[in-house]
Structure 1
Amino acid sequence: MKRFVFLCLTFFLSLTLLAQDKPVKIVFDVTSGDQDVHSTAIRHVKAMSEAYPQSQFEVVMYGGSVDMALKDKSSVKGAVWELAKKGNVTFVVCEGTLKRHNIDASALIDGVKTVPDGIVEIYNKQQEGWGYIKEVK
């Protein structure tokens, strides 16, 4: 019996280790203007991108989170810039949100890209098999 339990535990441990090696694709949905939410999103993306360097991560900012993407307002500017330089992390902001707030794309942190619609971007990623994380407080 002990040998059976040992074999089962070894088998499940092996599956867990193998699962961690499999690349993932995760889109993070950030709509909050709360700087704590911005910091939490950065912490999650940073940890995941380091733990899974072969995986892809995208942070989609729209609505109230637009300040997270702005050079002169972001509380996480340095981290966004550093992560955006990595090959496996992308930050995008909704062009509709920029237009609604009369913000020019030149005001964005270097490395932040734009997409026509943040919600449609998330929908498209999900249709492509990406996992979805909603960042909230």
Structure 2
Amino acid sequence: MKKYLILILVCLLSLGSFAQEKPVKIVFDVTSNDAKVHQSAVRHVKSMAEAYPNSQFELVVYSSGLDMLLNDKSSVASDIRNMAEKDNISVVVCQQSLKKHDLTEAALIPGVKTVPDGILEIANKQQQGWSYIKEN
């Protein structure tokens, strides 16, 4: 009987370890000007951030993806504003892309931050152990 109780206790303890969430860090890469890609990226980041509140997520936008973060062109502006307010989500845009398209930070949705280079930002995150997701 004692052996069965120990076996049950071991099984219960092992189940508890599966329930513990291990935080993740994921960087999402958006370069498309397709509104469907923007909506998909927002959906992915939001659902992951809600499911894993102790994890970190960063949405990096550059090149043709800029419309996603522009006040006057974004089809997901309210979602971007809400995401940028979350502690576990960062929304960043490449300064080089802004410069190439003759845009300034004033054109961005409030809460969006800039990084010197979008590709380098992703590479640095990967060196720090972040997982990478390409949205397309």
What's the TM-score bracket when you normalise by the shorter of the two chains?
Answer: 0.7 to 0.9
Equivalent-residue separation in structure 1 for 2:14 and 2:130 (angstroms) = 25
Corresponding residue number in structure 2 for 1:135: 135
State the 4+ residue runs in structure 1 displaced beyond 4 angstroms: 9-16
Identify unmatched segments of 5+ residues in structure 1. 1-6
Q: What CA distance in whole angstroms lies between the structure 2 residues aligned with 1:65 and 1:13?
A: 43
Query: Partner of 2:93 in structure 1?
Result: 93
- Partner amino acid, structure 2, of 1:65: G
Q: Give the AA of the match of 2:39.
A: S
User: In structure 2, do the counterparts of structure 1 residues 13 and 63 end up closer, same or farther at CA, with 3 Å as the change threshold?
Assistant: farther
Q: Shift in Å at residue 74 of structure 1?
A: 0.4
The structure with the largest alpha-carbon Rg is 2
Distance 2:14 2:105 in 1: 48
1:117 pairs with 2:80 = no
- Matching residue of 1:61: 61
Matches within 5 A, 1:9-20: 16-18=18-20
Q: Which residue of 2 aligns with 1:3?
A: none
Cα RMSD, aligned residues only: 2.0
- In the other structure, the counterpart of 1:108 is 108
Please list the CA deviations of residues 42-84 of structure 1 after superposition, one character each: whole Å capped at 9, or x if unmatched: 0000000000111100000001100001011000000000011
Q: State how far apart, in whole Å, the 1-side matches of 2:55 and 2:13 are.
A: 25
Task: Output the amino acid matched with 1:97.
Answer: S
Aligned residue for 2:39, secondary structure, equals helix
Partner amino acid, structure 1, of 2:123: Y
Deviations 1:85-104 (CA, angstroms, capped at 9, x unpaired): 01000000000000000001
Secondary structure, aligned partner of 1:109? coil
Secondary structure of residue in 2 paired with 1:90 = strand
**Where does residue 4 of structure 2 map in the other structure?**
none
Name the TM-score, length of structure 2 as normaliser. Answer: 0.88
Q: Find the aligned partners of 1:74 and 1:51 in 2 and give their Cα distance.
A: 25
Structure 1 residue 17 displacement after superposition:
3.0
The verdict on how the C-alpha distance between 1:111 and 1:17 changes in structure 2, with shifts beyond 3 A counting, is same
Q: Displacement, 1:10?
A: 7.8
Distance 1:102 1:52, change over 3 A: same
For 2:66, the aligned partner's letter is: V
**Percent of residue pairs bearing the same amino acid type:** 57
Give the alignment's TM-score, normalised by structure 1.
0.87
Count of aligned pairs between the two proteins: 130
